[in-house]
A = this chain, B = another copy of it.
């Protein structure tokens, strides 16, 4: 397969043109292929396997917290989409419309779901009657469609895969607690598994989800200093319940409206992984979601004993890791480059000279450090190395964020720092006029009002009026 490919080394250096580097990586690491539908990509086996690993981790966490999976139709009748006013205004401009079934025009056109609040509400209105039916803790794994003008693999695609949780509760307290619980699960997924440090907080009103009372987010910083929203959790109050007439008999037997949440993470998160950890040699995958965690590359495999030792090692590791032996007829150098491009966390090289001393060579993908390790007790060494990789990835990402985070007590400092991409911590009065101004004048937007607040000054960085919150500002993907 090597022969037909572009040279693996031909990717754009990461600090020369980050956008081109990104596109080169998603193609060369064989994550995606462009399809003949503009704005839609194909998730190739390697890209999809990353998503499967993320799914498995998240699905386990959802189930542990009592959530159940369901599947709703992919179509929403126009009249149903229009039931909640703010919601339809937010989504209608970017939906794809089905107008014909076979050769016949439909009586009512259907949109391909951009998100499924309306479908869940419609279902809930039929199945929820009493407080005994609550809470409803549903989630679905599916694809959604948003007819974006400009697209980019993983980051903005006309169709993308995601999970969307939709829950319904007796009280607003319960619904708020659910919103927070799911945000903290997202934070855990990002930080513990994907090794991406995030800032958790609330979105300002102008950045919140169409129809939500409040939107919470985990925001990550990419290698180039831009922000990427990595998961959102919305609290709806009872607005949707009222719009869809979801009612239940409460504990006092009075008719009440339940309170609702929704929360989602999409394949965008794969974009975050690429742009947080990658380097000039390509992808660097965190071990928890790497399709291959360890690649064993035989050196001089025709020499006696080499393949036996390789097979033995592979067998030994199989129960604990996703291991692959590269048996292709490419040269070792080519193999190294290929698995570096694909971001395999750990490479083990095994050749006749290593074997003589019962050793192997272990190479970390994240910092390319190389060590000679005894095959005796290698599993312990690998466990240590994997932990070191995990630490290294998180630390590098965190350092990048800290280096690019600026405390800006006044407008001048903000204006100066915002010439470089990064996070700018600055005080805000709470008005959308100031937000709008900063967008126009400095091309930055509010990322979130972090839960962890620091009082940098007492005045809004924009208008000088008394400040209400410290906000993270930045430029977002």
Residues of A within 8 A of B (CB): 1, 3-4, 33, 35-37, 40-45, 48-49, 51-52, 68-77, 80, 92-103, 110, 112, 119, 122-123, 126-127, 129-130, 132-133, 138, 142-143, 145, 147, 158-159, 161
Q: Which residues of B contact A4 (CB under 8 A)?
A: 129-130, 132-133
CB of A97 within 8 A of CB of B96, answer no
CB distance from A213 to the nearest CB of B (A): 25
Measured between C-beta atoms, what is the minimum distance from A38 to chain B in Å? 9
Extra contacts besides A36-B80, A40-B73, A95-B102 (14): CB < 8 Å: A3-B132, A35-B72, A35-B122, A37-B73, A42-B71, A45-B70, A48-B71, A74-B74, A74-B143, A97-B98, A97-B99, A97-B100, A98-B99, A101-B158
Do the beta carbons of A159 and B40 come within 8 Å of each other?
no
A152 to nearest B CB, angstroms? 15
**Residue with the greatest number of chain B CB neighbours at <10 A, chosen from A44, A98, A126:** A98
Question: Contact: B102 with A100, CB < 8 Å?
Answer: no
9 closest Cβ pairs, A-B complex: A101-B147, A45-B68, A40-B73, A43-B71, A97-B100, A4-B129, A99-B99, A37-B75, A37-B73
Q: B36, B95, B102, B123: which contacts A42 (Cβ < 8 A)?
A: B123
CB contact under 8 A between A93 and B99, given known A1-B133, A4-B133: no
* Cα–Cα, bound, A98→B127 (Å): 31
Closest partner residue, chain B, to A328 (CB atom):
B132
Q: Please, which residues of chain B bring their CB within 8 A of the CB of A96?
A: 75, 98, 100-101, 110
Contact B3 A161 (CB under 8 A): no
Query: With the chains together, A57 CA to B355 CA distance in Å?
Result: 40
Chain B nearest CB: distance from A342 CB in Å?
14
A159 to nearest B CB, angstroms? 6
What's the Cα separation between A359 and B58 when bound, in Å? 40
A71 to chain B, nearest CB (A): 4
Q: Residue of B at shortest CB range from A129? A: B4
Give 19 CB contacts A-B under 8 Å. Answer: A1-B132, A4-B130, A4-B133, A33-B126, A35-B122, A36-B122, A37-B75, A43-B71, A73-B159, A74-B74, A74-B143, A75-B159, A97-B98, A98-B99, A98-B112, A99-B99, A101-B147, A101-B158, A112-B112
CA distance A138 to B103 in the complex (A): 32
B74 touches A145 (CB 8 A): yes
On whether the beta carbons of B42 and A73 are closer than 8 Å, the reply is yes
Q: Given the complex of chains A and B, what is the CA–CA distance between A129 and B1 in angstroms?
A: 9
Contact of B93 with A102 in the complex, beta carbons under 8 Å = yes
B-side contacts of A127, CB under 8 Å: 33
Q: Are B119 and A77 in contact (CB under 8 A)?
A: no
